[in-house]
Homo-oligomer: A and B are copies of this chain.
Amino acid sequence: MSRYRFTVAYDGTGYAGWQIQPGQTTIQLVLQDAFCGISGTDGVKVHGSGRTDAGVHAAGQVIHVDLSRELPPTTFVRAMNTRLPADIRILDGAVVEAGFHARKSATGKEYRYFIYQGTVLPPHVRLYRAHVQKQLDVDAMRQALDILVGQHDFAAFSANPDREVETTVRTIFDAYLEVDGSDIMLSLRGNGFLYKMVRSIVGWLIRVGRGDVLVGDTQAVLDSRVRTAAVPTAAPQGLFLWRVAY
């Protein structure tokens, strides 16, 4: 029995999110079924670096699995990609030590969020962008984003704040916003993210960009530590789990 780490990319459009749930097609379930298939057992458990919600994508989700058949990681990558649907792909793999854990060993994560601004959302990007018709004030969005960088209590930017989490304090290492024509890309790197934290931050930044609220309101919302309707949750399809660091 060896422990393997794999990097996984997926299009979340057709799935009820990452986590296995009764009666739902989830990414974790499809991966687990495929690993059981190539292993000839039904006992393989897939451990991800964290959950993603329905409609959210991944460019670099990381998982670990314990496999009894010991083969080169590239052999598993090829066998899995033959078996998996085209909207889930294994990008690479490696044998890791038994102490490695996809979630617990992670030291940081990068999420990217993509917005299309324009009157009409082009069909071929509709599943991978949030759509904002109004031209956004990206300088204001950048200023608001800067306020959120660092170690803060992000309770105001999380859903289900009464979920059992030890603390709602997280550190955003850095964050930036890039504009490329009609596309806006936000990158956030941090030591961990609360439930719906990235989409809540983006939801707020879009309000800032529209001019619905002021950049200066950001600090007050953060300090309130209470999630209110002032912070909407941005659409899932704009979000990509981009990279997990170890």
Contact status B88-A123, CB under 8 Å: yes
Contact bitstring A227-246, B, C-beta under 8 A = 1, else 0: 00000000000001000000
Partner of A120, one of B87, B89, B127: B89
Interface membership of A59, Cβ < 8 A: yes
Report which residue of A11, A89, A120, A240 has the largest number of chain B beta carbons within 10 angstroms of its beta carbon.
Answer: A120
Q: How far is the CA of A240 from the CA of B89 in the complex (A)?
A: 25
Interface size class of A (residues with CB under 8 A): 20 to 34
List residues of chain B with CB within 8 A of the CB of A224: none
Contact status B81-A9, CB under 8 Å: no
Which residues of A does B touch, CB under 8 Å?
Answer: 9-11, 57, 59, 81, 86-91, 120-124, 126-128, 240
In the complex, the count of this chain's copies comes to: 2
Closest 4 interchain pairs by CB?
Answer: A11-B123, A87-B123, A89-B120, A11-B124
Interface of A is mostly: mixed
A126/B59 contact (C-beta < 8 A), A81-B120, A120-B81 known: no
Shortest A61–chain B CB gap in Å is 11
Q: How far is the CA of A240 from the CA of B121 in the complex (A)?
A: 16
Contact status A123-B10, CB under 8 Å: yes
28 A-B residue pairs with Cβ-Cβ distance under 8 Å, sorted by A, are A9-B120, A9-B122, A9-B123, A9-B124, A10-B123, A11-B123, A11-B124, A11-B126, A57-B123, A57-B124, A59-B122, A59-B124, A81-B120, A86-B121, A86-B123, A86-B126, A87-B123, A87-B126, A88-B123, A89-B120, A89-B121, A89-B122, A89-B123, A90-B120, A91-B120, A124-B127, A124-B128, A124-B240
